[in-house]
Structure formats: C-alpha cells, structure tokens
Amino acid sequence: MLPEKKLTGQQIYHGRVVNLCVDTVKKPNGKRASREIVEHSACIAAVALDNQHNVLLVRQFRYPVGKFLLEVPAGGIDAGEEPRDCVRRELQEEIGYLPRKIDRLGGFYSIPGYGTEYLHCYLATDLEPSRLVAEDTHSIEIVRVPVSQIPRLITSGEICDAKSIAALLVFVSGARSENNLT
C-alpha cells in the first residue's frame, strides 16, 4: 500500500485548542481528494489507582455532548512538557493527588480519520495529596470506583468516552493477566 501525498493545504481556523485545515491529497490511484483535518496537540490519559484498588475517575460536564461524563483524568501536553510531567500536573489539578509512580500503558490516536490527537496512557499509583489550582477544574467531581466495577461501568455505558474506555481496558486486562488487582 502507498500513502496519500499532500498537494496543498489551507488552515481555515486557528483556535486556542484546535486548528482546522483542508488539504488536497493525491491518492495512490492518482485521483485527488480533499481531507478535513482537526489539528490537536498530544494528550495524556491517566488511570489513577489508590492504595485500596480504587480507580479515581472524574465526573464533569462536557458541553459538546451536553451531559456529564465519567472519565479518567486527562489533558493536553503543554509545549515543551514531557508526558509524565503532564500526568503529574493533570492529577494534581483534577483529583488533588501527585503520583509517586507512573507506568506507561500505551497510546493511541483518538480520531485518526480526521484528527492528529495522540493520547499517551499511563497508570499512576502511590498517590499522595497535592493540589494544584486550575481555573477550569472547580466543577469536577472525583468518583472512586473499585477496579472490579470498571468493566460493568463500561458495558453499561456509564463510562462512554473513547480515551477512558481504552485506558481502562488496557489497565484492567493487564491487571487480570497479572492476577493482582481484580
């Protein structure tokens, strides 16, 4: 298989969080096509596990879908910031804990059909209280969920965003294979 080749590109919107571009590409069969692209920086998604084997989730209102979602803590990686440092910052801002141990679970493109966002997934453990104040986290509710309840929350639709499902399923499948957390 051959990749598509970019012929032209035009940024049609430049925002604080995303940029929107329209590219013209040449397909392997020689035909031209248009690609609409949402440019977004890399992000982290963290499965935060306390000493009682509870996953610390956040419930927050998500305006684009018009409802409260139950999610793993996550956020954008700032320019020049390493993913592990972003995990520390996001956990301090969103759940008020600093992880002493951070292990990589993997990563994935969240919307590869039209977007550039890559999510780095981590397991954060050995949590100690440590609060960073951020302007947009005052309406976040912290929800502690036993690891054993995670599959049910996913299948019931109570956890319904892709990043949380992916990170939690990788974590739960690893925990089961290690046979030490479920």
* pLDDT for the residue numbered 174: 83
The confidence score (pLDDT) of residue 131 equals 85
**Euclidean distance between CA atoms 18 and 9, whole angstroms:** 16
- In this structure, what are the phi and psi dihedrals at residue 12, rounded to the nearest 5 degrees? -100, -10
- Amino acid identity for residue 122 in this structure: Y
CA angle 87, 93, 95 (to 5 degrees): 85
pTM exceeding 0.85: yes
CATH T-level assignment (fold) for domain 43-178? Nucleoside Triphosphate Pyrophosphohydrolase (3.90.79)
Provide CATH 3.90.79.10 ranges for the chain.
43-178
The pLDDT value given to residue 182: 43
The token pair that represents 76 in the structure block: 């954008």
**Is 135 among the catalytic positions?**
yes
- Pair 176, 168: CB distance under 8 Å: no
pLDDT above 70: percentage of residues in the chain: 93
Supply the pLDDT for residue 133.
Answer: 74
Catalytic option among 135, 141, 158, 178: 135
* C-alpha count within 13 angstroms, C-beta hemisphere, residue 33: 12
Low-confidence ranges of the chain (pLDDT < 70): 134-137, 175-182
pLDDT at residue 177, rounded to an integer = 60
Residue ranges of E strands in the chain: 5-14, 19-26, 32-39, 43-49, 54-62, 67-71, 74-76, 97-109, 118-129, 141-146
Q: Which of 82, 106, 87, 125 is nearest to 174 (CA)?
A: 106
Determine the pLDDT at residue 135. Answer: 65
Dist. CA 124–CA 97, nearest whole Å: 10
Cα-Cα-Cα-Cα dihedral sign, residues 31, 37, 43, 49: negative
**Residue 132: predicted pLDDT:** 79
